[in-house]
A = this chain, B = another copy of it.
Amino acid sequence: MIVPVEGGITAPKGFRAAGIACGIKANGKLDLGLVASDDVASAAAVFTTNKAVAAPVVVSREHLAEAKGLARAVVVNSGCANACTGAEGLRVAHLMTAEVARALGCEPEEVLVASTGVIGVSLDPRKVTDGIIAAADALGDHHAEAARSIMTTDPFPKEHAVKVDAGNGKTFTIGGMAKGSGMIEPMLATMLGFLTCDAQVEPAVLQRALVEACDTTFNAITVDGECSTNDSVFALANGASGVVIGDRGGREYEALVEGLRAVCLELALGIVRGGEGATKLVSIHVTGAKTYDEAKRAARAIANSLLVKTAIHGADPNWGRLVAVAGRAGVAFELSGARVLIGDTVLFEHGRPFDERAPQAAEYLKGKDVRIEVNLGTGGPEDATIWTCDLSAEYVKINAEYRT
């Protein structure tokens, strides 16, 4: 059983957090977050698949390997991605972890690091080191500040926590926070996710569970089809609850995955709801696919289609665009067997449209939460869901004016 609880990233026992302003953002908003475990924790992470990886991703990968999957803390700044910043960028990312290590009394390899913001701008080493000292001093149950400190164009902070029943009346807790909100695409994007857990889990098991949980949550969302240089999801598990999680196959492992999935899904949907210029959360459910990969690929193609996203923005039940994208998605597709539903309204089936139902579908599309189902018509048994948002003129405005 999974029950939502208060407390975000600091809901699990033995974790403290802080979010402070150290001057990276010119407007004085919170721009540096720190999440620390009182004791050394198992750590896991998934990173961007982009080949232009940012300095913090390089350093976090190194540290996870060097510390054999153990960590004490994650430090993160917003307002500057520290990406495409060459040797100097690597130096600053290393400096950030060293400064946290000094403040917490651990090894630099036990500190993970993330950055988000503009690409190609140098991160001021003085500001972040001063910020880290202040954040370490401020560590406490400041989950709300931490969640705000990682925002860039996000319209609201995203945090969530759940209590998970591991069986035998034992419970453990998982907390998390994330940021979006442009450059969002399956296989991660300019998104950062941070998860804490007070169960005791081997690093390799935590890594496996994190990958499983991300597949249908953080890796099943898209705002604009972009995949950034900095995307990372970190999980720390410190064992403070006394609950021990065994390997795959056991009930505890399943409980861990379900708990992680619950937190990740809430955060992931928050990222889509807060997508740049978004006015609607849209779930694209593809059914009738020959394989799960094809279902996911078709759902992604539909979720990233500008014509689909603009039609939904205009509450236009334009099933023709849905069919056209499914047809070009590079997956098995049979027009004669295809079916399109907007909400519960079937608009296309057996090769013909039902345009007399368009008004009720249009009415449905005026809502904030929209479900679309496209059956690929192959008779295959597989399905997948991708969550996306609509595309508004506001998205264009935000991204045409982000730097200038």
Per the bound structure, the CA–CA distance linking A118 and B319 in Å amounts to: 11
User: What is the distance, in angstroms, from A58's C-beta to the closest C-beta of chain B?
Assistant: 10
Are A49 and B119 neighbours in the complex by a CB distance under 8 Å? no
Contact (Cβ within 8 A) B323 A353: no
Complex Cα spacing A232 to B380, Å: 30
Contacts A324-B183, A352-B86 hold; do A402 and B318 have CB atoms under 8 A apart? yes
A357 within 8 A of B: no
Is A335 in contact with B51, judged by CB distance below 8 angstroms? yes
A306 within 8 A of B: yes
- Which residue of the partner chain, among B50, B305, B355, B398, contacts A120 with CB atoms under 8 Å? B355
Query: CA separation between A353 and B84, bound complex, in Å?
Result: 8
| Docked complex Cα distance between A305 and B86 (Å) | 24
B residues in contact with A402, CB < 8 Å: 311, 314, 316, 318
Please choose the segment from A103-111, A160-168, A169-177, A326-334 that sits at the chain B interface, where 4 or more of its residues have CB less than 8 A away.
A326-334
A5 close to B (CB within 8 Å): no
C-beta contact mask, A32-53 vs B, less than 8 Å → 1, else 0? Answer: 0000000000000000111111
A397 in contact with B404 (CB, 8 Å): no
Whether A314 touches B401, Cβ cut-off 8 Å, given contacts A84-B353, A327-B229, A335-B52, is yes
With A50-B328, A324-B119, A324-B229 known as contacts, the answer to whether A400 contacts B316 (CB < 8 A) is: yes
> Contact at B226–A311, with CB atoms within 8 Å?
no
Query: Shortest beta-carbon distance, A389 to chain B, in Å?
Result: 12
Nearest-neighbor residue (CB-CB) of A331 within chain B = B51
Are B316 and A52 in touch, CB under 8 angstroms?
A: no
Cα(A122)–Cα(B101), bound, Å: 69
- CB pair A320 B119 closer than 8 Å: yes
Contact B324 A400 (CB under 8 A): no
Residue of A328, A333, A397 most packed against chain B (CB within 10 A): A328
Q: Is the CB of A120 within 8 A of B396?
A: no
- Say yes or no: A400 contacts B306, CB within 8 Å: no
Q: Is the CB of B348 within 8 A of A84?
A: yes
Please tell me if A292 contacts chain B, counting CB pairs below 8 Å.
Answer: no
- A220 close to chain B: CB less than 8 A: no
Write the residues of chain A forming the contact surface with B, with a CB cutoff of 8 angstroms.
48-53, 81, 83-87, 118-121, 182-183, 224-229, 304-307, 310-311, 313-316, 318-321, 323-328, 333, 335, 338, 348, 350-353, 355, 362, 391-393, 395-404
Pairs A–B under 8 Å by Cβ, sample size 13:
A52-B338, A81-B320, A84-B335, A84-B353, A120-B320, A121-B353, A224-B307, A226-B306, A229-B323, A229-B327, A318-B403, A393-B396, A396-B396
Which 6 pairs from chain A and chain B are nearest by CB?
A119-B320, A52-B327, A314-B400, A393-B393, A310-B399, A86-B351
Q: A183-B324, A225-B306 are in contact. List 20 more A-B contacts (CB 8 A).
A: A48-B328, A50-B327, A51-B326, A51-B333, A52-B324, A52-B327, A52-B328, A81-B320, A84-B335, A118-B320, A120-B348, A226-B307, A229-B323, A310-B400, A314-B402, A314-B404, A316-B402, A318-B402, A362-B404, A393-B396
